[in-house]
Amino acid sequence: MSKYLSILFISSPILAANNRGENDGNLQTLQKINTRTGTRTVLSGPSIRWAIRYFMQAVGAKMWRRVVPPSDTNPVGYIYGDNDSPTMAKALPPIPKGYDDEVFGWMIAAKDTAADAAKQVSGIGVSAAISTTPYDGDTAFCQGLKAKGNDKTGNPELAPFSIERHWTRYQFFITVDLNTMGNSLPYILDALKGLQVGGSHAANLTELTPDLLAWHFHKAPGQSGLYLGAGIDFPPDENVDISGLEARAWNLGFDFHVAGIGRPMSVAKALQAIKEEAAS
């Protein structure tokens, strides 16, 4: 029987800054969308998927493609296969069966041929994470050294810049095709305890930790209804109000479970309960 899992993740309040290293002149910017209730900041779904993948690699999942610090001989920063020899290639090869990162899917598009691309559909879908409060323009003024380091007199040459910041919660939605997970689901669930999501500047990494998880299992893809979308306010200094989600669930006719701060079940126990139900 087909089985799918959907999880709504609402984070603890964080100070988000410079996610994915976007810049507008000397201003490091946050990604944003405009809604009827104001401008919201966004963490991309792919950046959250990468955070899950980095966690899996760090804790010893069986990964076919691994990320390593770039070097002169391996500027891409990838190694793949059963050995640790950095390999350069125009396209990475398909991921064989039995590796945990197969669940993220892949596509190999051969150039200059009429052949169709070889691909494996991902078993994990992740929405963009949207701030639960509007962005009010908060920025921090910073000062650093230019790349060359010195001006013509030999003194340090300073480069002023600013960073956009947003003190808020984020909420995103993840759906999992349990038929494709193999042994990977426990790694994915453990990763949700704390995701390092950020940009190219390590000082601006953001850790998403959940204050609330809501989840349910369903028999077909797309029959979830848990995602709240943009424009829902959960101020960072107040408890999360999910009355709107409860009304939607009643209207669509599905049951779901909730865990986290202020709830009878902790997030840690909820993740264990999800693992057990998925394995049954």
Q: What is the pLDDT of residue 256?
A: 93
Give the residue among 181, 220, 208 at the shortest CA–CA distance from 43. 208
pLDDT at residue 23 tops 70:
no
Q: Which residues contact 263 (CB under 8 A, 6 or more apart)?
A: 212
pLDDT at residue 230 tops 80:
no
> How is residue 242 annotated by DSSP?
-
- For tokens 């966004």, the residue is 42
pLDDT at residue 78 tops 80:
no
> DSSP string spanning 190-210?
HHTT-EEE--S-GGG-EEE-E
What are the CA-CA distances from residue 223 to residues 5, 249, 254 (Å)?
10, 11, 9
Give the residue among 185, 148, 133, 139 at the shortest CA–CA distance from 26. 139
Residue 35's DSSP bridge partners are: 38
Residue 218's DSSP bridge partners are: 4
Q: Which residues contact 265 (CB under 8 A, 6 or more apart)?
A: 257, 258, 259, 273
**pLDDT, tens digit (0-9, with 9 covering 90-100), for 86-120:** 554 445 677 888 899 999 988 777 666 666 677 78
**How high is the mean pLDDT of the chain?**
82
CA distance 74 to 196: 24
Residues across the chain? 280
Residue 206: phi, psi to the nearest 5? -120, 130
> DSSP string spanning 51-96?
HHHHHHHHTT---SEEE----SS-TT-EEESSS------SSPPPPP
For residues 234-248, give the mean pLDDT.
Answer: 84
Q: What single letter denotes the amino acid at residue 1?
A: M
| Residue 192 in tokens | 């949700």
For residues 252-278, give the mean pLDDT.
Answer: 94
CA distance 155 to 31: 35
Q: What is the pLDDT of residue 15?
A: 86
For residues 239-265, give the mean pLDDT.
Answer: 89
**Higher pLDDT among residues 199 and 62, named by residue:** 62
| pTM summary value | 0.85
- For tokens 């759906």, the residue is 175
CA distance 123 to 177: 5
- For tokens 């994990």, the residue is 124
| Residue 84 in tokens | 């640790």
